[in-house]
Amino acid sequence: MLAELTYSCPLACAYCSNPVDLAGYREELSTSEWRRVLAQAQQLGVWQLHLSGGEPLLRRDLVELVACAHGLGLYTNLITSAVGLSRARAEALRAAGLDHVQISIQADEAAVSDRIAGTPSFDRKLAAARVVTELGWPLTVNVVLHRGNIDRLGAIIGLAERLGADRLELANTQYYGWGWRNRDALLPGRAQLDRAEAVVRAARTRLAGRMELLYILPDYYGRYPKPCMGGWGRRQLTVAPNGDVLPCPAAHTLPLPRASVREDPLARIWTDSPLFRRFRGTDWMPEPCHSCDRREIDYGGCRCQAFQLTGDPARTDPVCHLSPDHHLVTATVQAANDATRPPEQQLIPRPHRGRSV
């Protein structure tokens, strides 16, 4: 389960996939409500809990929530920008039972990283990463790749290695939220991706047995879509800051009935809600998905991407080369590889929305 504790964040990343309109998320779940949700998650069968946002460190009750999850036997992973992860806060989280820390870094040097993040944060991130390893936590470094940093991949891998990361996630931007608004400026070209893949292959060979390296291609360059969340409502769920329950973090965009832990127990939402049942399995699929041999491999792709590109969440994901809407993706890729494309394009930054830690 992904618990998005707050959408407040001290950063202003132009690739952020969180909702653009945050008006509906101001009434965040209280500590007692989150404790109830965690207990229901454990009863449902959840065993791994990702604490995210926004920036989860902005929740003053984070240590209490970690202790609650630990008491329930859940494995906890903090997904953080690390802005606000002081040694005192880290020690309190360690004592509460936090199992793992994932820190996002935007680039390999301060000037570039701070420009992408929209605020000076690089040095604080590195200091926090050192605290994480000193306290004995496993460390994952996450870097969202895009046109503005993918050519720095070798240096980024070197930085993660120097920080002592156990795992490095190199995930190309997902085009939702602010990422969608900035898609044309963020999508890398084919030559950039070819260079990046060569760097990743060499690094995997060199770092085998020392650091796990995960590299995720941009959906738009795939021949087939990825199995979104391992299939709609099959393995994972997200609880938003206001209590909305979603099959994936971007599903708030879809024109489907809402489900909330403020109205129903988590088990009932998972089993019976129209939202979770709508695209579960394969019966809902149109052609060409319905008769495709891959229908239980990629499950028709991403419902949110289908809706974003076509206006219909039940369409075949246009990323698939068999989709009748595939031209929408090929046109975007062609534009990204246009020789006359400016080297840099104007980005719309995510507004700062933070509060004191």
Residue 354: the pLDDT is 55
Listed in sequence order, the residues at least 6 apart from 243 whose beta carbon sits closer than 8 Å to its beta carbon are: 29, 33, 37, 260, 261, 262
* CA 284 to chain CA mean position, Å: 26
Q: What is the DSSP letter of 9?
A: B
Q: Report whether 155 contacts 110 (CB < 8 A).
A: no
User: For the chain, percent helix, then strand, then coil, each to nearest 5?
Assistant: 40, 15, 50
Q: Could you tell me which residues are annotated as the binding site?
A: 9, 13, 16
Average pLDDT over residues 51-65: 97
Distance (Å, whole) CA 234 – CA 343? 41
Q: Could you tell me which residues are annotated as the binding site for [4Fe-4S] cluster?
A: 9, 13, 16
Percentage of the residues of the chain whose pLDDT score is greater than 70: 98
Tokens of 272: 């019976």
Residue 114: the pLDDT is 96
Write out pLDDT tens, residues 139-190. 999 999 999 999 999 999 999 999 999 999 999 999 999 999 999 999 999 9
Residue 278: the pLDDT is 96
For the whole model, what pTM was predicted?
A: 0.95
Cα angle, residue 163 at apex, residues 162 and 165 outer, rounded to 5°: 110
Q: What's the longest Cα–Cα distance across the chain? A: 57
pLDDT class of 246 with cuts at 50, 70, 90: very high
Write out pLDDT tens, residues 227-237. 888 899 999 99
Phi/psi of residue 326, each to 5°?
Answer: -60, -25
Tokens of 329: 């993706």
